[in-house]
A and B are shown apart, each in its own frame.
Chain A
Amino acid sequence: GEDVEQSLFLSVREGDSSVINCTYTDSSSTYLYWYKQEPGAGLQLLTYIFSNMDMKQDQRLTVLLNKKDKHLSLRIADTQTGDSAIYFCAEIPSYNTDKLIFGTGTRLQVFP
Chain B
Amino acid sequence: DTEVTQTPKHLVMGMTNKKSLKCEQHMGHRAMYWYKQKAKKPPELMFVYSYEKLSINESVPSRFSPECPNSSLLNLHLHALQPEDSALYLCASSPSTGGDGYTFGSGTRLTVV
Chain A interface bracket (under 10, 10 to 19, 20 to 34, 35 or more): 20 to 34
| B residues near A31, Cβ cutoff 8 Å | 99-100
In the complex, the chain B residue whose C-beta lies closest to that of A43 is B104
Tell me the bound Cα distance from A43 to B6 in angstroms. Answer: 13
User: In the complex the two chains form, is A92's CB within 8 Å of B106's CB?
Assistant: no
Tell me, in angstroms, the Cα distance from A104 to B102 when the chains sit together.
19
Q: A41-B106, A42-B106, A43-B90 are in contact. Are A99 and B45 (CB under 8 A)?
A: yes
Interface of B is mostly: strand
Pick the contact of A99 from B56, B90, B100, B103 — CB < 8 Å? B56
**Across the two chains, which residue of chain A brings its CB closest to B43?**
A102
Q: Note all chain B residues with C-beta closer than 8 A to A105.
A: 40-42
Complex Cα spacing A40 to B10, Å = 11
Asked whether B86 is an interface residue with its Cβ less than 8 Å from the other chain, the reply is no
In the assembled complex, B62 has its CB within 8 A of some CB on chain A: no
Residue B98 lies at the interface, judged by CB distance under 8 Å to chain A: yes
- Residues on B close to A: CB < 8 A? 6, 31, 33, 40-45, 48, 50, 55-56, 88, 90, 92, 97-100, 102-107, 109
